[in-house]
Amino acid sequence: MKSLIGLLFFCLLPFGLSGRTCNCPCIEGLTSRLNEEASARGCSRQLDHTVLQELNEFFDSHRGYLVMRHGEQWKSPAVATLPNAALQKIAMMRHEDNVSNPLTEKSQVEAELMAQALRAVISPEQHPLGLYTSGNARAKMTAEILGTAIGVCVEANPVLDCVDYPAEASMPTEELLTLLPTGSLPWEPVQVDAVLGLGSYERIHLEMAEDLAGKREQNSLLVTHTQQINAIAEQYGLPVERLSTYGFILVNLEEGTAKTYKHGVFQEPGK
């Protein structure tokens, strides 16, 4: 409640005192305005003011980190012509496409709207925030959009990088399909190690645990990928599930608890 009152007060401050303006007197008003903007820009996803309220209250009184999945990966024309989704997924997870494919235009719009909302609820002037990203273009673009809106620098962190599927010469597509019939990598030790190399499952677990243990002095926002998010989910006893783009896990460092927001700050489809 204290955070919401603070946000209201901040929105009513004259421009000269605040250094910036806010076009809403409360989170619900902000959400309504941004959802109108989303519709005008052809974005079908709508922000969820209840999630934004929870984040506002969390960052007002707790320390923690928000581990977010990147936005939607752009699909090259060559990949788009492949005959099924499994083959397309495998191609997009091999190094060249995996590292360099940017966000889709639709996902860029979603990131910009999300960033405006998070700027209001995180209040980095009061609560310093570290912003970290993988080096993959779709995650890096997400983080840069967030960083510009929130007003913090983005730091690349290789621990957050997406895993690469083996190149065709190392593991032919036909062999990969026998391990991954849908093209996606299940979060199971045997399959992870079979595709990525022996010990990969445990390595991802250890790297994420060690990296996050070093980020306990301030709030942190990490933009990463499904495998790293799965490791965090298991660490905190959460169900392992594939999050929507911009879905995240919010970890409360003081209480040692975590909560999954499958759709991030956006409403569940059909809600």
Sequence-separated (6 or more) residues with CB below 8 Å from residue 206 = none
For 74, the domain range is 64-261
Task: Give the model confidence (pLDDT) of 83-114 as tens digits.
Answer: 999 999 999 999 999 999 999 999 999 999 99
Would you say residue 268 lies in a domain?
A: no
Bridge partners (DSSP) of residue 191 are none
Indicate the pLDDT class of residue 271, thresholds 50, 70 and 90: low
Bigger pLDDT: 5 or 102? 102
Does a structural domain hold residue 220?
A: yes
DSSP letter for 260, please.
Answer: E
Answer whether residue 33 is part of any domain: no
Higher pLDDT, 233 or 213: 233
Mean pLDDT of the chain: 90
189 within domain boundaries: yes
Q: Above 60 in pLDDT, residue 19?
A: no
- Please indicate, yes or no, if residue 71 is contained in any of the structural domains: yes
Which CATH number goes with the domain that contains 114? 3.40.50.1240
| Distant-in-sequence contacts of 192-198, Cβ < 8 A, 24+ apart | 192/227, 195/165, 195/166, 195/171, 196/163
Number of domains composing the chain: 1
pLDDT-based confidence at residue 217 (cuts at 50, 70, 90) = confident
Q: Is 252 within a domain?
A: yes
Task: Report residue 214's pLDDT band, with 50, 70 and 90 as the boundaries.
Answer: confident
| Closest C-alpha among 9, 261, 217 to residue 118 | 261
In a domain, 34, yes or no: no
